Amino acid sequence: MASPGPSICPEALRNFRYYYSVTHWGKKVLFIIYRFSFLDGQSKKISEILVDNGVQLNKSFNAQEVKNLTDKHPEDLDITLMNKVCQALWQKGIKNPSFELKALVKKIKDERNVVSHEVKMMTVPDLISKLSNFQGMLEETLREAKSVFSSHVAEIVLLEKEIQDAIPKLIGKIREKYDPSIPEDLQNFQKEIDAFGKELSEYIQQLSRKELVSLYVNLCQISPIDWLAQFSITYPCAFMVCAKLAESKEFHWGLHDSGAITVDQNGILEVKDPSGNDPKVVIISGDAGSGKTTILCSIAEKWHKNAEDMPELSSFQILLYMQFRNHNHDNFDDFLRNLLPKTVSLFQLKHIKSSVIDSKCLVLCDGYDEWNEKSAKLFEEILSLPSKNMKIVVTTRPGNTERLTEIVNKEKCVRVNLQILGLQKEDMNLLTETLIGHLVKDDQTRKELKSDLLRKIDEMDAKIRVILQTPLFFNLFVLLHIECQDLSNEMSSRASL
């Protein structure tokens, strides 16, 4: 047994022992005996049953007891008063029970008086002992009642089972649950701690997700989202990038003949390295305006909208977003405080940090080429976090790819280097059809605009057309063609474009 002192305050302990060990179960047992003894008179008040059977209330009961007998249901009566009722009626010969049952009912009443009045202080072990003894007394009373009220055995058995189930649970609530000196208790205690830690972590993840979703709704307000939104376009980011990414041969792990890895933006999180390993870090390089930032915005947008076209994204409980250019926090702790202020206000930071590290977490890091001293330090700290389920997607312009790759290699992280390919002809066709399809309602006009636009692109000089391989420029060119065809007709030179 654990320590002898009470684990709840004395006043609560007194209320507990009185209600459960005396009032609650004692009442139930006495009530069922009363009900089976006087079943025919159930519809009447107890006072009426007593009077009908020749019991003089004012002589047998005091004024308060008479009031209770008149106003209260039998199941709500005090145990001592209920005992007096049973004795008064049994003396009139109504289903007069055995001596054993009479003695047991009186014993319940006496136990009530001892526990509620005579024992002023009771330790936890004393209360456990009392409850165990009281359980035995109640079960013995019900066993005797079964022999007296044989036609009601089934209902008595149900009450027996209820008591057998309930009182051990009460004892479990009172005693200290685990004794550190017992190895099995210690193991169970550790399991309970682990389970609580898991529940706490899941709760933190839920709150974090709500807060991050609110943040990324604003993050994804990229131009021209307002203009596109009026056409009920669900994922505006998708219209700003239609990038394909290929493995950068300059930074692959070694010689392999399987051909370069090529994926579209929806497959970034599922890409494997040439050896088939799941990379912790995906480095995406591309020129200015090639869609690097928009790819990350698109991922964040689809994460908070639970997009179906990136199924792997839904497995990440937490998504963190940092920009190298604007970052000004000294370490990962400060980064979390800034990103999750509401969640941090509810829990200790160490619990939140632990939850993030233990969860499947996606970190999007934008613009390594614009790093400052603090952001570079934070990125290296993120790489070194002891997380087995963290994936990091980081973007940079080509001139900084080598330095970034060296930093990732230094932390011995499995990585894949991808570079954004310029829009190919099939990509341009798809974007043209999608944008014009959403923005132009008339079928004939839509068809003419698309045909005219693709013809203009085909007729362009190759050196001019390369500008349109950047998603941002291409989308703006399509919008210009829809809104102002005369101006788009003048774009015959690189300078004019």
Pairwise CA distance, residues 92 & 100, whole Å: 18
Instruction: Check residue 210 and give its pLDDT.
Output: 86
Type and span of the H or E element at 281: strand 281-285
Whether 211 and 312 map to the same domain: the answer is yes
Whether 270 and 408 map to the same domain: the answer is yes
Whether 280 and 338 map to the same domain: the answer is yes
Instruction: Check residue 246 and give its pLDDT.
Output: 67
Instruction: Check residue 220 and give its pLDDT.
Output: 54
Q: What is the mean pLDDT of the chain?
A: 79
Whether 352 and 478 map to the same domain: the answer is no
The alpha-helical segments, DSSP class H, found in 175-248 are: 183-219, 225-229
8 A C-beta contact, residue 165 and residue 139? no
The reply to whether 226 falls in a domain is yes
Pairwise CA distance, residues 82 & 169, whole Å: 27
pLDDT in tens, the chain (497 residues): 444 444 455 666 666 666 665 678 888 898 888 888 876 656 778 888 888 888 888 888 999 999 988 888 888 888 888 889 988 888 888 888 888 999 999 988 888 777 777 666 667 777 778 888 888 989 999 999 998 888 889 999 999 998 888 888 777 766 666 666 677 777 877 788 778 888 888 888 888 888 888 777 666 554 444 445 554 455 555 544 445 666 665 555 433 334 466 777 778 888 887 778 889 999 998 887 777 887 888 888 888 877 777 888 888 989 999 989 887 888 999 999 988 898 888 888 888 898 899 889 999 999 999 999 999 999 999 999 998 889 999 999 988 888 999 999 998 888 888 888 777 777 777 778 777 877 787 888 888 888 888 888 777 777 777 777 777 777 778 888 887 777 666 666 667 76
Whether 210 and 93 map to the same domain: the answer is no
Whether 220 and 166 map to the same domain: the answer is no
Q: How many domains does the chain have?
A: 3
The alpha-helical segments, DSSP class H, found in 330-489 are: 332-339, 341-346, 349-358, 373-384, 401-410, 425-439, 443-459, 462-465, 471-483, 485-489
Whether 292 and 327 map to the same domain: the answer is yes
| Amino acid letter, 122 | M
Q: Which residue range forms the structural domain that includes residue 135?
A: 10-174
Q: Of 342, 344, 366, 341, give the one whose Cα is nearest residue 355.
A: 344
The reply to whether 190 falls in a domain is no
The reply to whether 434 falls in a domain is yes
The string of pLDDT tens digits covering residues 38-85 is 766 567 788 888 888 888 888 889 999 999 888 888 888 888 888 899
Last residue of a domain, one of 374, 405, 421: 421
Give me the CATH number covering residue 323: 3.40.50.300
Our measurement of the distance from residue 55's CA atom to the centroid of its chain's CA atoms, rounded to an integer in Å, reads 63
424 contact partners, CB below 8 Å, separation of at least 6: 244, 469
Whether 288 and 401 map to the same domain: the answer is yes
Q: How far is CA 418 from CA 270, 278, 281, 421, 422, in A?
A: 13, 14, 11, 9, 13
